[in-house]
Chains A and B, each alone.
Chain A
Amino acid sequence: MTYLIEGRDGPWELVVGLEVHAQVISQSKLFSGASASYGGEPNTHVSLVDAGFPGMLPVINRECVAQAVRTGLGLKARVNLESRFDRKNYFYADLPTGYQISQFTHPIIGEGAVEIELADGSTRVIGITRLHLEQDAGKSMHDQDPARSFIDLNRAGVALMEIVSEPDIRSPEEAGAYLRKLRMILRYLGTCDGNMEEGSMRADVNVSVRKAGEPFRTRCEIKNVNSIRYVMQAIEVEAVRQVEIWENGGSVDQETRLFDPARSETRSLRSKEDAHDYRYFPDPDLLPLVIEEAWVQGLAAHLPELPDAKRQRFQDEYGIPRYDAGVLVAEQATADFYETVARGRDPRLAANWVIGDFFAALNRTGRTIQDSPISADALGGMLDLITDGTINGKIAKDVFEEMLETGESAADIVERKGLRQVTDTGAIDAAVQAVLDKNPDKLAEYRGGKDKLFGFFVGQVMKAMAGKGNPALVNEALKKVL
């Protein structure tokens, strides 16, 4: 499914590459011992190293390196056993030393790949160019004083992974799918929480357009977009803008732009661009980072099962459809929940309940799987009652609602409310007879050939039995009499 922008004189193809900044999950900062946790009173998660005091020096955090390696492994990427740190020099209010420590020429992670799936079920592989470690900046606040901006350095020096994709993305949908997949992988790995609202994952979006078969044209970089939806919108409006420029005989300037969601447009940040020349050079305070192959192997051995592999296993091991498997592995917690429910039970029944009623209930109550009122074991207990014939599927829905409300176990609810399914054929036959007696006209119609009325009779019998009849036995009894 090719995404094309219809121009005045023919279709244009979209070319997009993404640079994702993902905050590393760690206790302390990349180069200082100050806390890396989110929040905190202003300037309390700040060491003199972070504030760039004279004579302060960086010392690298092993866990941040490990997190980058884990992420590289998760992206099936090359791990560079020797990498280096460079200084990116520029002045800004929230950059205390006047340079950001980053990895320019020798990143810790090289080429990798992410497979994405689109709505039509097709898949594509998006190349990863590199991943490198760098420092986050502090925060400027502009609305507390009429003349001054206030600076809080709590975030300054927190480790970031910059994950750069190849310009392989060809539609807004692919960009969205890529970001969702990347976020899923990071969350599985536990290397980034992927929380775009808190800014722990943000994207710079490189967009250009071209005619089919052409080499790349000039691109623009849309900085710091902080939601997947905005990324998709920004790509769309930026592409249209560029097509218009080209078609009007102009040319696109390579520049940094900002996406304004309120006006759904991108704006030039040219003023900020003013003479940017980062003067990268190797940071003389740091030696080359050399890691051992054995250490990398150790980290690889402890990686969790990743979404693609888990999804395949769910299909193979549980015999559930690919789509369902995809839904279940979207979050590690969901997959774990499902596996607990499915263990020793009918995995398809388990998948139907988890994806169906259970997800609906979470949605309705605004809960997450972590604070779900029904545990995986409790849901499994209910499925056991269905499987052993204690309750039927319809009653199960009532029991589930009751569990949601009271937190009681399914067995207790069935016992307390007397919901045990009726399998006594005598009672079923009596109920069937009573229904037939009450509806002579319908009976006549049925016998006259209106087969569809069978369902009506099943419904009436079940209603008469307060839903507790065993559906198979009810069907059987009705067929016999009819």
Chain B
Amino acid sequence: MMLTELTIAGAQGGLRRREFSATELVGAHVAAIERLNGRLNAFITVTSDLALDAARRADAILAGGEDAPALTGIPLGIKDLFCTDGVRTTAASRMLEAFVPPYESTVTANLLADGAVFVGKTNLDEFAMGSANITSAFGSVENPWKRAGDEETVLVPGGSSGGSAAAVAARLAMGATGTDTGGSIRQPASYCGIAGIKPTYGRCSRWGTIAFASSLDQAGPMARTVEDCAILLQSMAGFDVRDSTSVDIAVPDYRAACGRSLKGMKVGIPAEYRVAGMPAEVEAAWEQGIAWLRDAGCEIVEVSLPYTKYGLATYYIVAPAECSSNLARYDGVRFGRRVPGESLDALYEATRREGFGAEVRRRILMGTYVLSAGYYDAYYLRAQKVRNLIRKDFENAFRTVDVLLTPTAPSPAFAQGEKMDDPVQMYLNDVFTVPASMAGVPAMSVPAGLSASGLPLGLQVIGRSFDEESVFAAASALERAAGFTHRPAVRAEVV
């Protein structure tokens, strides 16, 4: 049995039936990391020894009987934005190269409490700012997928959770945590042919997760199946008194939602997502998705989200503004990199110049500018008003439909080196994912098929606030209909 080919749902059963041990399961993934991480660079920090220790403890618990927690012995990758107690947490930044948090984020603590085993900290765009995982101070991540007939060209895994997406796609972990601020779970999931969900803002605690843009950041799971995402989110989600934006609503049974019938579900197709210049194969995948859902018993409804086209521009005001403030704490005094200076200001300026990469510096400057005296009203305040209009678009749409279906990204994964001269071109990758982030509603990417060049294309299901169940139900139906069994060129069992 190829242990690295299992789903989480499958491994849960196998572990309990003693078909294999947690040590074997974790060991197989650790071995795959050792073999492939040098190439893929999906992990910044690999914690093999800790993982194998944890696997042995998991085996002891599993040997004890039936009541082992759900994720006992399941090897996961943790995006290196989640603070992990005693394990270096870098946010892929030189600034935090040597930062060892003395605390565990709520989301990872929840996973640990459910028995999960962490195999390492996955790579990302620096401070989660990027759409291609090329801004990491620890080097870019390689997408394990290859264009058909082109083994040479290195493709980007998407971003910012590119390390998590690549690790899961290449079978280096059974699942991974991601964070999504404007598409950072969904877009890399689409590029790497896996599933990933950004739950409703407030569903997963932000406590202990390094902030990029506080009003947008949400943690979520990435895995190879929709059901596996449901299993992981079940553990990650939940109310946390330490996060004032965490919402005190019971977490429903997500796994059960995956099998739910779609009879009578109304699916909205937003006209405004048919953007000019969308590649025909992306449009075709979307049409195919619409057909699949119709076949599953859904009613398809054209809807309008008139302000959605302003989502991206709004995002690129709000997110940098918040990041310019959130990243002010990296000043070389209490933690992180310190570059000496003659004066306090000299220390700040040298530390922040050397500690942050170009994209992070650019966004901090942008955010500083849009908040500065004389420009606040024209940029930040205006953006927050447009954001309210975007949110109302979704509210209106969800008065008539249960979920929305759109493509996840305007293209399949592109090659490293493409789209890199102009920041705006890079930002356009998030055009379909950003609106849901702005509105705070849950959204999931699920693999729907391959492009002409043999690369995965994802479809996005967007739901009402706190109705992740409908999202899981629709995404599961798409997954079943798509029967996506393609695997990337670079993966654990390929030597």
Direct contact between A and B in the complex (CB less than 8 angstroms)? yes
30 contacts between A and B (CB under 8 A): A48-B102, A53-B329, A54-B89, A54-B99, A54-B211, A55-B207, A57-B207, A57-B244, A58-B244, A59-B244, A60-B244, A89-B325, A89-B371, A91-B345, A93-B333, A93-B344, A96-B333, A97-B329, A151-B333, A279-B324, A279-B372, A279-B373, A279-B376, A281-B321, A281-B322, A281-B380, A284-B245, A285-B211, A286-B244, A287-B244
Give residues 327-342 of B contacting A (CB, 8 Å): 328-329, 331, 333-335
1/0 contact trace for A134-176 toward B, CB 8 Å?
0000000000000001010000000000000000000000000
Asked if A11 is an interface residue, CB under 8 A from chain B, the answer is no
Contact A285 B244 (CB under 8 A): yes
1/0 contact trace for A97-108 toward B, CB 8 Å?
111000000000
From known contacts A89-B325, A91-B328, A281-B376, infer whether A287 and B245 are also in contact, taking CB-CB under 8 Å. Answer: yes
Task: Tell me, in angstroms, the Cα distance from A96 to B105 when the chains sit together.
Answer: 20
Asked if A52 is an interface residue, CB under 8 A from chain B, the answer is yes
1/0 contact trace for B218-247 toward A, CB 8 Å?
000000000000000000000001111100
Residues of A with C-beta under 8 A to B241: 59
Residues of A with C-beta under 8 A to B322: 281, 284
Task: Tell me, in angstroms, the Cα distance from A277 to B369 when the chains sit together.
Answer: 10
Within the complex, which residue of A58, A91, A284 is in contact with B215, where a contact is CB–CB below 8 Å?
Answer: A284
A-B contact sample (4 more), CB < 8 A, given A48-B102, A59-B243, A286-B245: A55-B209, A57-B206, A96-B333, A98-B325
Task: Tell me, in angstroms, the Cα distance from A53 to B324 when the chains sit together.
Answer: 16
Dominant SS at the A interface?
Answer: loop
Task: Tell me, in angstroms, the Cα distance from A98 to B345 when the chains sit together.
Answer: 13
Residues of A with C-beta under 8 A to B103: 48, 53
Within the complex, which residue of A97, A99, A151, A277 is in contact with B372, where a contact is CB–CB below 8 Å?
Answer: A277
Most chain A CB inside 10 Å of its own CB: which residue of B102, B206, B211, B368: B211
Give residues 49-106 of A contacting B (CB, 8 Å): 51-60, 87, 89, 91, 93, 96-99
Most chain A CB inside 10 Å of its own CB: which residue of B214, B328, B345: B328
Contact B210 A55 (CB under 8 A): yes
Residues of A with C-beta under 8 A to B333: 93, 96, 151
Contact A285 B214 (CB under 8 A): yes
Residues of B with C-beta under 8 A to A149: 344
Residues of chain A touching chain B, judged by Cβ–Cβ distance below 8 Å, are 48, 51-60, 87, 89, 91, 93, 96-99, 149, 151, 277, 279-281, 284-287
Task: Tell me, in angstroms, the Cα distance from A346 to B15 when the chains sit together.
Answer: 88
Contact A52 B209 (CB under 8 A): no
Contact B210 A54 (CB under 8 A): yes
Residues of B with C-beta under 8 A to A48: 102-103
Contact A279 B325 (CB under 8 A): yes
Contact A89 B83 (CB under 8 A): no
Task: Tell me, in angstroms, the Cα distance from A395 to B105 when the chains sit together.
Answer: 75
Asked if B96 is an interface residue, CB under 8 A from chain A, the answer is yes
Contact B99 A281 (CB under 8 A): no
1/0 contact trace for B140-161 toward A, CB 8 Å?
0000000000000000000000
Closest beta carbon of chain A to B244's beta carbon, Å:
5
Task: Tell me, in angstroms, the Cα distance from A277 to B373 when the chains sit together.
Answer: 6
Nearest residue (CB) in A for B95 is: A54
Residues of A with C-beta under 8 A to B245: 284-287
Residues of A with C-beta under 8 A to B344: 93, 149
Most chain A CB inside 10 Å of its own CB: which residue of B96, B103, B244: B244
Contact A281 B373 (CB under 8 A): no
Residues of A with C-beta under 8 A to B373: 277, 279
Task: Tell me, in angstroms, the Cα distance from A60 to B345 when the chains sit together.
Answer: 31
Asked if B414 is an interface residue, CB under 8 A from chain A, the answer is no
Contact B91 A54 (CB under 8 A): yes
Closest beta carbon of chain A to B477's beta carbon, Å:
35
Contact B105 A57 (CB under 8 A): no
Contact B242 A98 (CB under 8 A): no
Task: Tell me, in angstroms, the Cα distance from A445 to B102 when the chains sit together.
Answer: 96
Task: Tell me, in angstroms, the Cα distance from A57 to B101 when the chains sit together.
Answer: 15
Q: Which 8 A-B pairs have the closest CB atoms?
A: A98-B328, A279-B371, A284-B215, A284-B214, A52-B329, A55-B208, A54-B210, A97-B329
Task: Tell me, in angstroms, the Cα distance from A287 to B213 when the chains sit together.
Answer: 15
Contact B91 A57 (CB under 8 A): no
Contact B331 A98 (CB under 8 A): yes
Asked if B348 is an interface residue, CB under 8 A from chain A, the answer is yes
Nearest residue (CB) in B for A97 is: B329
Residues of B with C-beta under 8 A to A53: 101, 103, 329, 334-335
Closest beta carbon of chain B to A62's beta carbon, Å:
13
From known contacts A54-B89, A284-B214, A285-B214, infer whether A59 and B328 are also in contact, taking CB-CB under 8 Å. Answer: no
Contact A59 B242 (CB under 8 A): yes
Give residues 439-483 of B contacting A (CB, 8 Å): none
Task: Tell me, in angstroms, the Cα distance from A377 to B267 when the chains sit together.
Answer: 81
Residues of A with C-beta under 8 A to B208: 55-56
Task: Tell me, in angstroms, the Cα distance from A59 to B244 when the chains sit together.
Answer: 6
Contact B368 A279 (CB under 8 A): yes
Contact A55 B211 (CB under 8 A): yes
Contact B334 A52 (CB under 8 A): yes
Task: Tell me, in angstroms, the Cα distance from A48 to B100 when the chains sit together.
Answer: 13
Residues of B with C-beta under 8 A to A56: 207-208
Task: Tell me, in angstroms, the Cα distance from A91 to B214 when the chains sit together.
Answer: 20
Residues of A with C-beta under 8 A to B244: 57-60, 285-287
Task: Tell me, in angstroms, the Cα distance from A87 to B322 when the chains sit together.
Answer: 10
Residues of A with C-beta under 8 A to B328: 89, 91, 97-99
Contact A281 B325 (CB under 8 A): yes
Nearest residue (CB) in A for B106 is: A55
Nearest residue (CB) in A for B202 is: A287
Task: Tell me, in angstroms, the Cα distance from A52 to B332 when the chains sit together.
Answer: 12
Nearest residue (CB) in A for B103 is: A48
Contact A87 B99 (CB under 8 A): no
Residues of A with C-beta under 8 A to B321: 281
Contact A57 B372 (CB under 8 A): no
Residues of A with C-beta under 8 A to B215: 284
Closest beta carbon of chain B to A218's beta carbon, Å:
18
Residues of B with C-beta under 8 A to A287: 244-245
Task: Tell me, in angstroms, the Cα distance from A57 to B211 when the chains sit together.
Answer: 10
1/0 contact trace for B232-272 toward A, CB 8 Å?
00000000011111000000000000000000000000000
Task: Tell me, in angstroms, the Cα distance from A277 to B372 when the chains sit together.
Answer: 6
Task: Tell me, in angstroms, the Cα distance from A56 to B105 when the chains sit together.
Answer: 9
Contact A91 B348 (CB under 8 A): yes
Closest beta carbon of chain A to B350's beta carbon, Å:
13
Give residues 156-213 of B contacting A (CB, 8 Å): 206-211, 213
Most chain B CB inside 10 Å of its own CB: which residue of A51, A54, A57, A93: A54
Residues of A with C-beta under 8 A to B334: 51-53, 96
Nearest residue (CB) in A for B205 is: A57
Contact A54 B325 (CB under 8 A): no
Task: Tell me, in angstroms, the Cα distance from A15 to B242 when the chains sit together.
Answer: 45
Nearest residue (CB) in A for B207 is: A57
Task: Tell me, in angstroms, the Cα distance from A287 to B372 when the chains sit together.
Answer: 23
Most chain B CB inside 10 Å of its own CB: which residue of A53, A57, A98: A57
Task: Tell me, in angstroms, the Cα distance from A53 to B243 when the chains sit together.
Answer: 14
Task: Tell me, in angstroms, the Cα distance from A280 to B241 when the chains sit together.
Answer: 26
Task: Tell me, in angstroms, the Cα distance from A279 to B245 when the chains sit together.
Answer: 22
Task: Tell me, in angstroms, the Cα distance from A48 to B104 when the chains sit together.
Answer: 12
Residues of B with C-beta under 8 A to A281: 321-322, 325, 371, 376, 380
Task: Tell me, in angstroms, the Cα distance from A60 to B213 when the chains sit together.
Answer: 20
Give residues 342-366 of B contacting A (CB, 8 Å): 344-345, 348
Task: Tell me, in angstroms, the Cα distance from A52 to B334 when the chains sit together.
Answer: 8
Task: Tell me, in angstroms, the Cα distance from A98 to B213 when the chains sit together.
Answer: 15
Closest beta carbon of chain B to A464's beta carbon, Å:
80
Task: Tell me, in angstroms, the Cα distance from A53 to B368 when the chains sit together.
Answer: 21
Task: Tell me, in angstroms, the Cα distance from A98 to B331 when the chains sit together.
Answer: 8
Closest beta carbon of chain A to B93's beta carbon, Å:
10
From known contacts A52-B329, A89-B325, A285-B214, infer whether A57 and B102 are also in contact, taking CB-CB under 8 Å. Answer: no
